[in-house]
Structure 1
């Protein structure tokens, strides 16, 4: 009897290398937002520290500062010494520095451990972004950039729910969740290898491995700026939501964990639809949809009379962010020539965390002067302007094409 083989290509998410890279992507959310439900408890635990209010709020975005400083340099190193050693070293450092908050005696030392955690995140994300470009092309790359947003969100959902439960028992206990990253190491060690320098994935676009567009660096910086602003607004959710709930008398750590869980679940689910939506709307169309959904979410937060509407707001913000985020990675990897993908990944990674770090520095004074309603209204108006700009660009593109 003649043997019949299934010639259909295996879905990208079933590739062992893709699975390992998605595991790495899930650590992004764990790095920052995992301790969000514990912030009020940590502030009370270290109430003797005169800077407790500001330091506790900076614990969430603290890794972002290290990432913003280190990621471009790590990107250069990834182009020279390879991605694999940086990824593996990053995961090991992630476990050690993340769990350090379990035993460190005061807020300043915990803050320093969070800065070290940021170095680990820079190693992981820069190597992971470059490897996506090295291993995958075309539709597979687009699919994986959306799947990594799902991995971040579904991973974040698990971590945030665990953190909400852990913070209800002890404000230090959420730091133990970082130890889960050690379970990812065996697969990464086995399947992640650096591709040959000269012959990467076949069938790539002509610019791959060449110089790329002359203006690719300027375009990459503009893309990075837009991503930084997007993440600055989005990061209002994990840094300020618990304090917003306390101010409105809606609840504590458990409610914060649940709302952030809705945020992650919504984002993870919508990201799975990204390739299909992007094919229908195009790049600018998906930016318009995403920023419009985020604007609606912050408007609902401003109007929220109770926790139920807060969950709807969180779902809208998560869905909108999941629509815009994959395009940043896909566009950056398209712009950058092969030999500079590590640098492009570093710049893109830095922009994410620059936005995250700046978020509480800008939002906290705004809350002091205008209250939470003012913060949410201003965020909604800015996002709405970004959505309208994308719509106008989309319409202009369609008109040029006839």
Structure 2
């Protein structure tokens, strides 16, 4: 078997078949993210999961993914990208099988964390092999096809997940990954040539450990704070520990000769503020995708399939933006596109905050379209702008830092906004007349409150749960709107008016990895 270096650009005879293997890999990951959002209310009912436990089901994947993505990419560069891709899909398959047959919440969280390990291996490597397979004139097309594979999972995930939940048990949303990952493994083994870059930096075990420990401690503190109180000694200790760990990471990365996370990139104004904009966009979007499915299922009363279908207006808005964003960037510049997209997201969130228990789905569909439009106009130009401000020899490290910070934004969005929702729901819920145990269970989540209301035959409790959840969702949307508006003002004030950098073809190559990541 011939081993190609990362500099090889001659056309590979099996390159289009190999591209099919990469698409299968990315489609598997694309399904998983949106399937889980639809499944969380059902899992909460069947497993008795609190809102905090649901947050961990979502965040366990993201925290591990963010912590391991950079070292996983380096492992592939040094030891073979196909080998690590196959290993990543195998780990993802094992995590999915564990999740499918998990009997309680801790095992589901463990399965999600294991899937995060696999996802961290697959995501950067699926795109890093493209320069070795395709010459420059074909590379942009190849990047678009792989990115489309991941994108396709977003709208199909909720629908597939909803159908599975309507016909099978909740574990089926994990089990569906098993044959898809197996197909990806077979395709990679049979079709994908081995490539590597032995000159890449070594994996820094200490930096990886500091990243995982710092992020995990921060997320744990945010999730525990509503139940324990923000001034609780344990919560304060966790915040302090996370600050120390992250500070230690920054200090170490600034001192090593070849850092995994090149903090010096943040000295570039264009990179810093574009990255901040993209991170805040993921903060907003991740929080919204966490709070919406319980509203559609528990408050509006739709089944799992109906919930998945009703998330599609978000994708419709994203499709519109995908077509319109580039002409806007060409005409008015990336700063205008990013700022306008963030303003649209802020408008959508503020509009959504007007939701009441009696509003109905039509109003939700309206502001979801605006969310998709705002997301599409802001995130891709922001990522492109971040990378095109950097010298060509730092594009790789810039992509890694950008991808990592975006994942951190998503994890903190789920943790912080989910915690805000949990606290507001618990404070507003009227549990008068319920036994202490039942009252405590009802306060865990809107799904649990409806189950208690059904057992007790209490229409009053069900109505109170709906009102309390909508109140919490309103607060979340107001915070999302404020965050998007602040990001828009920062973008308008500090982003460079014109992006200086490499030619369009080179920029397209550098956008490969973060573009696919944006669609997960």
Report TM bin, short chain: 0.7 to 0.9
SS of alignment partner, residue 302 of structure 2: coil
Aligned CA-pair RMSD:
3.6
Conserved? CA contact 1:299–1:376, under 8 Å: yes
Contact kept? 2:336, 2:492, Cα under 8 Å: yes
Is residue 376 of structure 2 the alignment partner of residue 322 of structure 1? yes
- 1:235 aligns with 286
Across the two proteins, how many residue pairs are aligned to each other? 368
Q: Counterpart of 1:172?
A: 171
The 1:276–1:101 alpha-carbon spacing in structure 2 relative to 1, beyond 3 Å, is same
Distance in 2 (CA, whole Å) between partners of 1:331 and 1:356 is 20
SS at structure 2 position matched to 1:175: helix
- Quote the Cα distance in structure 2 between the aligned partners of 1:133 and 1:325: 24
Query: Does residue 312 in structure 1 map to residue 312 in structure 2?
Result: no
Structure 2 residue aligned with 1:56: 54
Per the TM alignment, residue 214 of structure 1 is displaced from its structure 2 partner at its CA by: 11
- Residues 230-263 of structure 1, C-alpha deviation per residue, up to 9 Å, x if partnerless? 2121112321112223564353423321233332
Question: In the aligned structure 2, how far is the partner of 1:339 from the partner of 1:81?
Answer: 22
> Where do 1:130-279 residues align within 5 Å?
130-131=128-129, 150-169=148-167, 170-179=169-178, 180-189=180-189, 190-191=191-192, 193-194=194-195, 216=265, 218-219=267-268, 223-246=274-297, 248-268=299-319, 270-271=321-322, 274-279=325-330
Q: Name the SS for the 2:176 alignment partner.
A: helix
1:192/1:173 CA distance change after superposition, 3 Å: same
Match of residue 386 from structure 1: 487
Matched, 1:375 2:476: yes
Describe the shift of the 1:39–1:68 C-alpha distance in structure 2 as closer, same or farther (beyond 3 A). same
Is 1:67–1:349's contact at 8 Å kept on the other side of the alignment?
A: no
Evaluate the alpha carbon distance shift between residue 263 and residue 17 of structure 1 in structure 2; reply closer, same or farther with a 3 A threshold.
farther
Greater RCO between the two (CA within 8 Å, min separation 6)?
A: 1
TM (norm. structure 1) is 0.77
Distance 2:130 2:340 in 1: 25
TM-score by length of 2: 0.61
**Structure 1: runs of 5 or more not aligned:** 1-9, 199-212
Matches within 5 A, 1:84-163: 84-131=82-129, 150-163=148-161
One of 52, 67, 70 as aligned partner of 1:69: 67
Contact kept, 8 Å, 2:333 with 2:498, in 1: the verdict is: no
- What is the match of residue 33 of structure 2? 32
Aligned partners of 1:242 and 1:256 also within 8 Å: yes
Distance apart, 1:345 and its partner CA: 4.4
Compute the displacement of 1:157 (Å). 1.3
5+ residue gaps, structure 2, are: 1-10, 200-261, 425-470, 500-520
Compute the displacement of 1:308 (Å).
1.3
Larger Rg: 2
Shift of 1:62: 1.7
Structure 1 residue 20: Cα displacement:
4.5
Q: What secondary structure does 1:288 align onto?
A: helix
